[in-house]
Amino acid sequence: MERPGAGALAAVIAEVLPRFDAQQPPQASAELYADLLIDSRRFLMIIRGLERRLNVEIDDEDLLGVDLITYGDLVKFVERISAEASVPQNE
């Protein structure tokens, strides 16, 4: 079964990078900058797209201690954000 965070990420990257095929996401080891041409401005566009799709607000604190070098790093980050977003606030 496809993980919701990973699916949302692939869809958002496809919006930002027209040549990106959301049905065939890259290997986890593919580098965001060197291989996918994601710079800090495109990263911001991806963050905004994720906020829209996952209905969350990604804040400075969410990025504390995070390194985003590979596609796998980004998938892990998005899965964490998406899991936190699905937890009810009162719990």
C-alpha to C-alpha distances, 71 to 9, 13, 19, 88, 90, nearest whole angstrom: 10, 11, 16, 28, 32
Nearest to 19 by CA among 43, 36, 39, 31: 36
Q: Which of 39, 80, 83, 86 binds other proteins (CB under 8 A)?
A: 39
Using CB under 8 A as the binding rule, whether residue 43 contacts other proteins is answered as yes
Using CB under 8 A as the binding rule, whether residue 83 contacts other proteins is answered as no
Using CB under 8 A as the binding rule, whether residue 44 contacts other proteins is answered as yes
Q: Which residues bind other proteins (CB under 8 A)?
A: 31-34, 37-44, 47-48, 58-69
